[in-house]
Chains A and B, each alone.
Chain A
Amino acid sequence: MILRSAISTASEEFRLRYRHNEAVVADFRRRQDEARTVRSEQALARLASQRKMRPRERIDLLLDPGTPFLELSSLAANGAYDGEAPGASCITGIGIVSGREVMIHADDPTVKGGAWYPLTVKKIVRALDIAIENRLPVVHLCDSAGGQLYHQSQVFPDKQMAGRIFRNQSILSKLGVKQLAIVFGHCTAGGAYIPGLSDYSVIVRGTGAVFLGGPPLVKAATGQVISADALGGCDLHTQVSGTCDYPADDEPHAITIAREVVAQWQQPTKFLSRETEVEAPAYDPRELYGIIPRDIKNAFDMREVIARIVDGSRFHEYKPAWGTTLICGFAHLWGYRIGILANNGILFNDTAKKGGHFIELCNQNETPILFLQNITGYMIGEEYETAGITKDGAKMIMAQACSHVPKFTVMCHASFGAGNYGMCGRAFDGRFLFTWPNHQIGVMGGEQAANTLAEVKLQQLKRRGVTATPEELGAIREEALAAYLDQITAYHSTSELWDDGIIDPVDTRNALGIAISASANAPLGAPGNGVFRF
């Protein structure tokens, strides 16, 4: 049935929310624009002197004209390294090249020569994880000075650090998922393995170079003075060493060759079927601005969100009268059938069981699942513990974690406590997780956390025999709240790559469409579950 919106777009509350969220999104766009475009004059001059394009120009040229690009984690590292590495000094995203869906990873030579910071590595690893999970071919646009030496302990040694990039590349190749590297600039040290482990590679004459140790390192180690081009340039690698495959005269030529290479790849088999008749939502998605509350504590009907995301605003709601704080039902999004779980309040025993049951229905039906999170937790208190809220919550988590269909999560407003787990938080290997800029995430809400932290502080003071005045108490509480609030913002979250990027709520439908389409490239895993605690 077509959802009927209960919102009055003429109401004062709608207007206030609309203006508020418009400002929230404008702030997001400003930050994003800054991260994408603001660079030092020196870096841009250097790029121009090398006749290099900016990485986004490279991507635009690589993509099929008139097609979308879903950029991931555009604000990664926005709160790290004193803002030194906007976008974590790389660009990742999904686009169409020669008619094929591909993951693009582009180094950003305008940020510290494209050096890899810890979060750069995390972002690239995540992009390749996505490529593996969704069987997406990858095009690497290489132009990086290598690992940031100052942060080497956070870049090099651990399981999810730089080595993981090369591990993921190898696994992709083993899975038969194609990779192509275009070497625009230097690929030094570990970075050399990106073209080295790609199935195909193109290298630009004059500026492209691949070597395990660059000229300075060679000089330091052996005293030999050699140019970058002689050590690992285009002619060496395409004519002598065979490390790279295609020589290119310049960057546009390299991109032309890359598009030709991708055009040779077999078109993927899709594992999800899609309706060809696609209706736009019956309600304007911009109205989401008037729906999302101004205050994190205010509830709202998630059906209003569903009505502005899914095809034709058509939603078949499952068990509409039972466990009503969790909305479950089927819809289509850009033609793909999906199951939706959307929070409409706290999770109770019945809602947890309803959610678990609905996930099983989706599993049996091989229907991807979309989680729309606005959750402040599972209900607590004697009554619910007695009824086994932990046991019922565990059932939902078990069903969700073991589900073998593609899962997608949108962080719409609040994500506090264990509700995050049941609703496919970051730890649960959803294929994609996007965050709205108004969103907050934490083990508990800001107010509760501030009170708890103030209480802990007070206890410490008390043990030292200090008594605080009410003013001091207030100051302690304010300080704790400020620190905590900073940590629970969407910006902090996305900076740390706890998501695949902040998106404008209006963009949710397109982002999910591209994400679901990408997910359809991978076969569904084997169905099955662990032990449910009944």
Chain B
Amino acid sequence: MIASVLVANRGEIACRILRTVRRLGMRGIAVYHFADRNAPHVAMADEALELTGSVPTAAYLDQAQIIQACLRAGVDSVHPGYGFLAENAAFAEAVAAAGLVFVGPDADTIRLMGDKIASRNFARAQNVPVAPSATDEGDPTAFLRQAAAIGFPLLIKASAGGGGKGMKIVRSADELQENIRVAASEALRYFGDGRVYAEKLVEAPRHIEVQVLGDGEGSVIHLHERECSIQRRHQKVIEEAPAPRLPPSVKNAICDAAVRLATAARYRNAGTIEFILGADGAFYFLEMNTRLQVEHPVTEEIVGLDLVEEQLRIADGKGLSRRQDEIRISGHSIEVRICAEQPERDFRPATGVCGVLRWPADARVEAGVAEGQEVTAAFDSMLAKIITTGSTRLEAADRMKHALDEFVLLGVPNNADYLARIVAHEAFREGRLDTNFLVEHSADLLPAQRAPEPAAILAALMADAGFRRVVDDVPALHAAIGRWRN
């Protein structure tokens, strides 16, 4: 019986998890690095334990310290959130070895799904479509031949990689060898593992993923799909559920494939199986994420479940709360990621103090920052997510546009205006989405900088005490005479 949970994470997801933990009457414990001392997850936890380390992100990756914190706080479970230690098999083992419940799958599943090549082989074995590919088995000549046989264009990816790092697109045979060499050396540098594989490149695909829940005993249900095609350099920017303009046959095939895979893995926990979908309706397994996703709220909104609650329930051995036939979707939900970055300056990461922070009134907000908090370069640039739901997709989009207009974050340059332009864009509203969307429409989405409006200039000046003094300190008589010369 889980009575207390240590959240081994920070930011919005730590807040999100703690909210459910506390709603369920459990004790919620936070960990934090000094750099996060003013962060909201620290304030809302029943107890917060400090992690030390000269590099703030490394503190949240320090397994020994976190296990120590669990023991000190006397918790009986650990929720890893996403990122950091969420898909670290060794950590899952260490948690179990400490006699605690890890809210996630077992270490073997993490290992299996964490390995690109192994997970693809596993998927193929379950009849889940996998893009034609070739793996380097230590024979470069054979690998080159097999890769060329896939046909062009193709992708070279790092076996241990993710997030697009070390990925190369190859459009013709004569570029192949050199690209394999470069990708392998980058893979070695980024991931400490130089193995690469080649895969068919689906041009301008959609990114469709399926949310599943598994009890670890072989029961798996899916909570339908999400569309995450609005991406910038393989980073999701806007997600939604359900996927728009998806033929029911394709949707069913994708969801069935996802359940097949998770069932075969006797999957325990909430998980996501990601696919790419070509314009021809063919879809291919990409990877499985064995944790809660950033974009899980859009699924929650349309199925009416709390995924963190489901995770805790499963971890506690209580199984699934619903059967597949009890899952109904209603309405449409959209999520945007508010990031500290400057779209007009090539998305350069930004820092600052959240001087003014006003959340939209009629939207779900998952925030990891509070007014007055400093945003440094120490952590990921995502600050918050805004989620709107409507009975139709357009209603959700209209609400999102309104929410973004209402949203105010001053002090930290961010992408809110850029997001507002995306959700107001005609192609987005028509649901014509693919992963090339942001590049294709960049002229509309990143218009040339206009000179600031006089009203903005004047508002800035009036907020500046230096300027106000120049205005107000002049004696009344001289102010009345004005700029006079004799």
User: Could you list which residues of chain A lie within 8 angstroms of chain B, going by C-beta atoms?
Assistant: 64-71, 74, 96, 98-101, 263, 274, 276, 278, 334-335, 501, 503-504, 507, 510-511, 513-514, 517
Contact = CB atoms under 8 A, between A and B. Distances in A.
Given A98-B473, A99-B473, A263-B469, A67 B478 contact: yes
29 contacts: A64-B473, A65-B470, A66-B474, A66-B482, A67-B479, A67-B481, A68-B481, A68-B484, A69-B485, A71-B485, A71-B486, A96-B474, A96-B475, A96-B478, A99-B472, A99-B473, A99-B475, A101-B475, A263-B473, A276-B476, A278-B480, A334-B480, A501-B486, A503-B486, A507-B484, A510-B481, A510-B484, A510-B486, A514-B478
A494 B469 CA distance: 37
| 10 tightest Cβ-Cβ pairs between the two chains A and B | A99-B473, A68-B484, A68-B481, A507-B486, A66-B483, A96-B478, A334-B477, A517-B477, A67-B478, A510-B481
Nearest to B472: A99
A353 B484 CA distance: 39
Contacts of A510: 481, 484, 486
A68 B483 contact: yes
B472, B478, B483, B485: residue with the most chain A Cβ atoms closer than 10 Å: B478
Given A96-B474, A96-B475, A65 B483 contact: yes
A501 B485 CA distance: 13
A101 B478 contact: yes
B480 to A, nearest CB: 7
A79 to B, nearest CB: 20
Contacts of A67: 474, 478-479, 481-483
Contacts of B474: 64, 66-67, 96, 99
Contacts, number: 72
Contacts of A98: 469-470, 473
B473 to A, nearest CB: 3
Contacts of B475: 96, 99, 101, 517
Nearest to A267: B473
Contacts of A503: 486
Contacts of A66: 474, 479, 482-483
A504 B477 contact: no
A141 B171 CA distance: 70
B485 to A, nearest CB: 6
Contacts of B477: 274, 278, 334-335, 513-514, 517
B483 to A, nearest CB: 5
A53 B475 CA distance: 28
A302 B475 CA distance: 31
B472, B477, B485: residue with the most chain A Cβ atoms closer than 10 Å: B477
Interface in B444-486: 469-470, 472-486
A276 to B, nearest CB: 7
A276 B477 CA distance: 9
Contacts of A507: 484, 486
A274 B480 CA distance: 14
Given A64-B473, A101-B475, A334-B477, 16 more contacts: A65-B483, A66-B482, A66-B483, A67-B474, A67-B482, A68-B484, A71-B486, A96-B478, A98-B469, A100-B473, A263-B469, A501-B486, A507-B486, A510-B484, A511-B486, A513-B481
A335 B478 CA distance: 12
A65 B467 CA distance: 11
Contacts of B476: 274, 276, 335
Contacts of B485: 68-69, 71
A247 B208 CA distance: 63
Nearest to A260: B466
Contacts of A69: 484-486
A27 to B, nearest CB: 16
B470 A64 contact: yes
A20 B391 CA distance: 84
Given A501-B486, A510-B484, A68 B469 contact: no
B318 to A, nearest CB: 69
A65 B483 CA distance: 7
A101 B473 CA distance: 11
Interface string B315-358: 00000000000000000000000000000000000000000000
B464 to A, nearest CB: 14
Interface in B386-407: none
Nearest to A263: B469
B473 A504 contact: no
Contacts of B480: 278, 334
A490 to B, nearest CB: 14
Contacts of B478: 67-68, 96, 101, 514, 517
Nearest to A517: B477
Interface string B147-179: 000000000000000000000000000000000
A99 B483 contact: no
A327 B281 CA distance: 103
Contacts of A65: 470, 483
A74 B484 CA distance: 15
A70 B486 contact: yes
A273 B469 CA distance: 23
A507 B472 CA distance: 25
Nearest to A503: B486
B461 to A, nearest CB: 12
B482 A68 contact: yes
Contacts of B483: 65-68
Contacts of B482: 66-68
A36 to B, nearest CB: 10
B472, B480, B485: residue with the most chain A Cβ atoms closer than 10 Å: B485
Contacts of B484: 68-69, 507, 510
